[in-house]
């Protein structure tokens, strides 16, 4: 079991590599992955259940200890990223389907790997976990509402249906995971040890399927979409950091909020785009899944070296 846990940890650390490889596989061998479209939503549910297993009820009490930092992080998450998405969509005059996908990514909660990146960046992990947890819990309400507000002119949003879907694939699995953790305690540690492996397999499978479903669109304008995704991510980091610094937070807290703002739950974006919109609308989410893990690793390395100096 120890060997499996070590292998799982290694897979988690090399997440970006597997995302790139599976993305390329989806692009060059689409026929292998397009029949698996129905697995996108269940795969994300597995990731969210795994996230719930790592949480304790006490984690949600962190907001009482430092409400200002948590609330600033949450506000930054749900204000900065949607606004950046809207700005980039207009600056680059993107195709409506792709524009919808970019805005959808911006309206999603924080990414599930942000806590690991915060840890590697010598940031405030407890704050990161709290912001991720609360943003994810708020996602069933805020993600559809924000999408309706910023992208309602592009397409009719099935608001109530989307809220129910997000609750089913995000909130319900997390609640179940928290309950299981509460009931079993330390007995679930072996399962937690292999979560990085399970999560990576699920997310890279989503990436491969989304890329396969829209490989034609990627071939036509993939570089432009990728450029928008990169800018969205990097500007999110920068503005998150500046906001935390402006508020006088500690260096560790600045790094946590920077990472939380820049990294999105793009798996949720891919799942919603695939269910409610078109394969093209899921492309930004797939590319974001690949890129933000690469940028996150680079950012964490930079921050860690700066801390050592």
Q: For the chain, give every domain's residue range.
A: 37-308
Q: Minimal CA–CA distance to 301: which of 11, 7, 19, 16?
A: 16
Provide the token pair at 246.
């402006």
Write the pLDDT tens digit of every residue in 47-59: 778 777 777 777 6
Query: What integer pLDDT is reported at residue 205 of this predicted model?
Result: 85
Q: Minimal CA–CA distance to 266: which of 100, 109, 159?
A: 109
Query: What integer pLDDT is reported at residue 75 of this predicted model?
Result: 92
Q: Mean pLDDT highest for which of 48-62, 122-136, 238-252, 291-305?
A: 238-252
Architecture of domain 37-308 in this structure: Up-down Bundle (1.20)
Confidence of residue 259 (pLDDT cuts 50, 70, 90): very high
230 or 9, greater pLDDT: 230
Query: What integer pLDDT is reported at residue 59 of this predicted model?
Result: 66
Write the pLDDT tens digit of every residue in 147-197: 999 987 777 778 888 888 888 888 888 888 888 888 877 777 777 777 777
How high does pLDDT run on average in the chain? 84
Least confident range from 4-8, 17-21, 225-229: namely: 4-8
Query: What integer pLDDT is reported at residue 231 of this predicted model?
Result: 95
Per DSSP, the three-state class of 265 is coil
Q: Which residues contact 281 (CB under 8 A, 6 or more apart)?
A: 97, 98, 100, 101, 104, 273
Cβ(166)–Cβ(265) under 8 Å?
no
Write the pLDDT tens digit of every residue in 219-251: 777 789 889 999 999 999 999 999 999 999 999
Query: What integer pLDDT is reported at residue 309 of this predicted model?
Result: 61
Query: What whole-number percentage of the chain has pLDDT above 70?
Result: 96
pLDDT at 1 over 70: no
245 or 127, greater pLDDT: 245
Q: What is the mean pLDDT of residues 278-300?
A: 84
Query: What integer pLDDT is reported at residue 122 of this predicted model?
Result: 79
Rounded to two decimals, the pTM is: 0.85
């Amino acid at each position: 079991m120890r060997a499996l846990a070590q292998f799982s940890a290694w897979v988690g650390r090399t997440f970006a590599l597997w995302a790139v490889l599976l993305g390329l596989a989806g692009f060059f061998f689409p026929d292998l992955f397009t029949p698996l479209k129905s697995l996108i939503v269940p795969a994300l549910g597995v990731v969210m259940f795994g996230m719930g297993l790592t949480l304790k009820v006490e984690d949600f009490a962190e907001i009482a200890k430092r409400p200002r930092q948590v609330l600033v992080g949450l506000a930054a998450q749900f204000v900065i990223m949607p606004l950046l998405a809207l700005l980039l969509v207009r600056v680059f005059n993107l195709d409506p389907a792709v524009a919808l996908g970019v805005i959808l990514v911006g309206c999603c909660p924080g990414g599930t790997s942000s806590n690991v990146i915060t840890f590697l960046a010598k940031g405030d992990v407890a704050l990161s976990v709290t912001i991720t947890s609360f943003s994810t819990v708020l996602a069933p309400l805020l993600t559809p509402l924000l999408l309706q507000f910023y992208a309602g002119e592009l397409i009719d949003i099935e608001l109530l249906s989307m809220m129910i879907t997000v609750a089913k694939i995000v909130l319900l699995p997390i609640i179940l995971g928290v309950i299981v953790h509460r009931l079993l305690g330390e007995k679930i540690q072996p399962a937690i040890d292999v979560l990085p492996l399970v999560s990576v397999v699920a997310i890279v499978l989503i990436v491969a399927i989304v890329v396969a479903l829209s490989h034609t669109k990627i071939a036509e304008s993939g570089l432009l979409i990728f450029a928008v995704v990169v800018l969205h991510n990097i500007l999110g980091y920068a503005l998150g950091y500046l906001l935390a610094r402006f508020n006088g937070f500690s260096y560790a807290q600045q790094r946590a909020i920077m990472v939380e703002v820049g990294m999105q739950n793009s798996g949720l974006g891919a799942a919603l785009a695939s269910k409610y919109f078109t394969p093209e609308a899921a492309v930004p989410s797939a590319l974001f899944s690949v890129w933000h893990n690469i940028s996150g690793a680079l950012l964490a390395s930079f921050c860690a070296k700066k801390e050592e100096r």
